[in-house]
């Protein structure tokens, strides 16, 4: 593997920030009763979590509160995004018993809100949509009080596959844009900016609450973040409104073989992103250095359930 620290993106130097992380980047170490209880449930049911596979910096905090983002369809991804720590390769055979185990685990966790995500399974005819749908049904059966958020892949633009998931009516349909349009060829080489916008629009068109997330500090400029927010409003607009929730967090380089950090975004700029996005028309913007797509997801549900002023 090669180091990407000297990569040039779109004619601009994309240099690794070699000084230490700024003082506002604070992470809680794993531990406590909640952490160990959740560890036992995950291990007993042979489940994967994106918290571990993607080296999420909030794992200690979230697991201590008894919440984790379950990752289905295995832990090997068919794509090679420049920011992601999840292993790329040829996935194993489909585990058709996985939805049952996820449902049982959800029942034991007794959560108000659960987030499910997956790797990309581009080698499957439906991208894993049938497993997605069955997983949602199993969670509803075992934990009917739990609202469900699904953080889905783009299914290579197969809208029939998307509709299989949408038919289960999850409370939140989440699909991450990840970054601004200019950086897609490096950050998400197998994805398409317009395709992700189209997925969010189609989901909103069916009346679902929709959500997306991006990283900053990976080579974008502030004006490009503003343009992305405008694109979310313009291209996902339907009779049911536009994309409801946007999360914005600081990119952290998981290893030296991944894209380098281009800048440390000051906390005040995250506040500015939130204020601007909500003023533009996005119902809730969760923005901060340590924010990740499923960070405090249960609180975001409460935010969009409040009547619009």
Share of residues in the chain with pLDDT > 90 (%)? 60
Residue 82, pLDDT score: 86
The tens digit of pLDDT for each residue in 288-301 reads 998 877 666 666 66
State how far the Cα of 221 lies from the Cα of 64, in Å rounded to an integer. Answer: 35
User: Would you state the structure tokens that stand for residue 255, as one six-digit string?
Assistant: 């290893």
SS3 content of the chain, % helix, strand, coil (to 5): 40, 15, 45
| One-character DSSP codes across 201-264 | HHHHHTT-EEEEEEEESSS--HHHHHHHHHHHHHHS-BTTBS--EEEEEE---SSTTSPPP---
Starting from the edge strand earliest in sequence, which strands make up the sheet with 284-287, in order? 48-49, 69-72, 113-118, 147-151, 172-174, 209-216, 245-250, 284-287
pLDDT at 210 over 80: yes
End-to-end Cα spacing for the chain: 52
Structure confidence at residue 7 as a pLDDT band (50, 70, 90): very low
Structure confidence at residue 227 as a pLDDT band (50, 70, 90): very high
Residue 6, pLDDT score: 39
> b vs e for 233-247, b when ≥16 Cβ sit within 10 Å of the residue's Cβ?
bebbeeeebbbbbbb
Structure confidence at residue 23 as a pLDDT band (50, 70, 90): confident
The tens digit of pLDDT for each residue in 274-290 reads 999 999 999 999 999 98
pLDDT at 46 over 70: no
Residue 68, pLDDT score: 65
The tens digit of pLDDT for each residue in 244-261 reads 999 999 998 888 888 999
The tens digit of pLDDT for each residue in 69-110 reads 788 998 899 998 988 888 899 999 999 999 999 999 889 888
Written in H, E and C, the secondary structure of 85-149 is: CCEECCCCCCCCCHHHHHHHHHHHHCCCEEEEEECCCCCCCCCCHHHHHHHHHHHHHHCCCCEEE
The number of C-alpha atoms within 13 Å of 20 and in the hemisphere containing its C-beta is 5
**Domain 23-305 CATH assignment equals 3.40.47.10:** no
pLDDT at 199 over 70: yes
The full set of domain ranges for the chain reads 23-305
């Amino acid at each position: 593997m090669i180091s990407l620290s000297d990569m040039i993106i779109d004619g601009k130097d994309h240099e690794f920030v070699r000084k230490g992380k700024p003082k506002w980047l604070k992470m809680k170490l794993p531990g406590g009763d909640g952490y160990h209880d959740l560890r036992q449930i995950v291990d007993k049911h042979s489940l994967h979590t994106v918290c571990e596979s993607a080296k999420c910096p909030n794992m200690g905090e979230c697991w201590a509160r008894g919440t984790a983002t379950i990752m289905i369809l295995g832990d090997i991804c068919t794509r090679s995004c420049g920011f992601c720590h999840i292993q790329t390769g040829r996935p194993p055979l489909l585990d058709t018993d996985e939805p049952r185990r996820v449902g049982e685990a959800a029942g034991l966790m007794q959560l108000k809100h659960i987030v499910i995500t997956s790797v990309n399974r581009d080698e499957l005819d439906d991208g894993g949509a049938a497993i997605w749908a069955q997983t949602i049904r199993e969670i509803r059966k075992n934990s009917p009080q739990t609202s469900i958020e699904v953080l889905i892949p783009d299914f290579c633009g197969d809208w029939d596959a998307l509709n299989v998931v949408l038919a289960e009516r999850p409370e939140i349909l989440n699909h991450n844009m990840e970054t601004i349009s200019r950086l897609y060829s490096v950050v998400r080489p197998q994805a398409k900016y317009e395709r992700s916008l189209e997925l969010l629009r189609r989901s909103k068109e069916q009346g679902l609450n929709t959500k997306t997330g991006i990283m900053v500090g990976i080579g974008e400029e502030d004006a490009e973040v503003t343009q992305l927010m405008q694109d979310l409003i313009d291209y996902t607009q339907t009779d049911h409104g536009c994309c409801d929730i946007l999360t914005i967090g600081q990119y952290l380089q998981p290893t030296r073989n991944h894209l380098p950090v281009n800048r440390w975004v000051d906390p005040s700029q995250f506040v500015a992103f939130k204020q601007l996005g909500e003023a533009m028309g996005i119902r809730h913007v969760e923005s901060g250095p340590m924010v990740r797509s499923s960070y405090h997801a249960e609180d975001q549900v409460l935010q969009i359930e409040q009547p619009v002023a």
